[in-house]
Every structure is written in structure tokens, then in C-alpha cells.
Amino acid sequence: MNTQIKTTGDRLIDALFYTILTLIGLATLFPMYYVVIMSITPLKETIRNGGFVLFPSEVTFSAYRAIFESPRLPQSLKITTLITVLGTFLNLVFTLLLAYPLSRKQMPGRKLCLFLIVFTMVFNGGLIPNYLVVKEFGLLDSIWALIIPSLIATFNLLIAKTFFENMSIEIQEAAKIDGCNDLQTLFWVVLPLSKAIIATIGLFYAVAHWNEFFAGIMFITNDKLYPLQVILRDMLQQPNMSVEMMSQVQGLEAELPPFSIRMAMVVATTLPILFVYPFVQKYFTKGVMLGAIKG
């Protein structure tokens, strides 16, 4: 067994790389750490330290109490959770149902369909035509305006199509010999073997829905249907909203600054989607790599 002995220069280079990567990691994590710390720091300590606190001597969760007892966050959380769960499910259904036939090279009109689909990655109708289409279908001020216009993402569709193209054709032919039609082959044979790509594009869709902002301000005027990111934007740009939210919960006016309310809102809107990653991480890299290989 051959072993490579590292020289002093190799060790120094490795140490330099690890140091740089550590510094980059700390620089990446510090903003999130600061946001969390400021969301639990009392007003008196914030003032005592000039508005910058890294290690608070005492903590308070009053900011989280304020945002969760206010009617705005729970309502927007329900809307965002609904469009994330329902939207991701519909995204997966329609994307997989379109990707599978496009992966079959014998499908009539396949090249024309692919051309039209890829064309949308370069050119689109624009804001005004999109708005008019949503309006004509009667989707304004409804959760469907946040789901249907983005029902199939071209990038995710192409990843799924490439994944299906690289799947063993012998398995699918064996299913057809056993009497399965194309739809039965897809649901009983192909999809059980496609957990990696389903988890990958499902994560892409879920993150996109959870961070939905543009469609929320473009198609929604009813503030009861605003998703989380729209409420967060309003809080960050309008300090008076934080004061109003504090006033709705008794005993908080002298306990924490409006800045803590905004930081707590950032944490509350970010953590839920972060918790999803560990459960799909083992599929994520595999799905992206397999879906990126050209068959």
C-alpha cells in the first residue's frame, strides 16, 4: 500500500487553506449569529453597548412573544406554509408528469416541445402580460396567484428529464412486458427509483415558495393573504410597524427596541426552511449530479 508523505510545504499549504476556509465560514455565520443575538437582547443592554452586542449578559424572548401574539405573523405563516406544501406538491406532480414523456426519445413532437420550453428560459412575456394573464384567469388576491404562474420551473424540468433519460430502460421495458402502461410504469417503477431527484427539485420548489415575495406584492392586495417575506419587507422598511406590533402585547414597550422585533422576524422566517435541509441533504447532491449528466 503506497502512502504519500506530506512535506513541510504541503502541511503549510493545507494549514493556510483550512485557515482561509475557517475564516470564510465564520464570516458567513456571523450575520446570522448577530441577528439571533440582537433578537434576544433587552433594550437596556442594547443601549449600554451602543447598539452592538455580541455576548449579552441577559436574554429576553419578548420579541418572539410580540411577533407570535400579533395577528400578522401567524396569518402570513399560515399562507406561506400553505403555498409551500400545496405548491411544492403540485410543482412535483406537473414537473414529473411532463419530464417523463420528454425523456422518451420516441415521443412525437419531443424536439419542438423542448425547444419551446427552453425558449422560455431566454425570453418571457414580461411583467405586464403576466399580470394580465393572472387577472384574466381571476387569480388576483388568491393563493393560486402564488402557485399556478410558477407551476413548472424550466430548470427543474430539465434536471428531471435528464435524470429519467439516464435511468435503465430495461427496467421500464420489463414493466411494460408485465402489462404496465406508461402511467403505471412511471408511478410504480420510475418514481420509486427517483427519490434523489424528487428530493432535489422538491427542495428547490419549497425554498422558492417559502421565499415568495415578488408574486406577493404583484398579485396580492389583501394584506391577509400576504406571505411571510412581504410582511418581513414591510417590517424592515417601516419601523412604525414594529412599534405597532409591540403595542399590541402588554408590557413590552420598555422591554425591547423595535430593532429586536425586526431581527426576531428575520429569524422566525428563516429557521423553518433551514430545518428542511438536513432531511434531504443525502439526496440533494446525488440528485443534482445525476440530473446534470447528459445521457
Task: Name the residue ranges covered by the structural domains of the chain.
Answer: 72-223+276-292
How far apart CA 189 and CA 180 sit, in angstroms, is 10
Q: Kindly provide the b/e burial profile for residues 33-43, where b requires at least 16 CB atoms within 10 angstroms of the residue's own CB.
A: eebbbbbbbbb
- Strand extents, DSSP E, the chain: none
226 CB neighbour count, 10 Å cutoff = 22
How far apart CA 136 and CA 171 sit, in angstroms, is 45
How far apart CA 291 and CA 293 sit, in angstroms, is 6
Nearest to 204 by CA among 84, 295, 122, 121: 84
- The pLDDT, as a whole number, for residue 240 is 55
HSE at residue 40, side-chain half, CA atoms within 13 A, is: 15
Least confident window among 26-35, 190-199, 244-253: 244-253
CA distances from 172 to 66, 105, 160 (A): 55, 14, 16
Cα–chain center distance at 285: 16
How far apart CA 39 and CA 17 sit, in angstroms, is 34
Q: Are 149 and 134 in contact (CB under 8 A)?
A: yes
pLDDT tens, residue by residue, 263-282:
888 888 888 777 777 766 66
pLDDT, average across residues 48-74: 78
pTM above 0.85, yes or no: no
Q: How many helices (H) and strands (E) does the chain have?
A: 15, 0
Least confident window among 36-50, 73-87, 136-150: 36-50
Highest CATH level, class, for 72-223+276-292: mainly alpha
283 CB neighbour count, 10 Å cutoff = 17
| Largest Cα span, the chain | 77
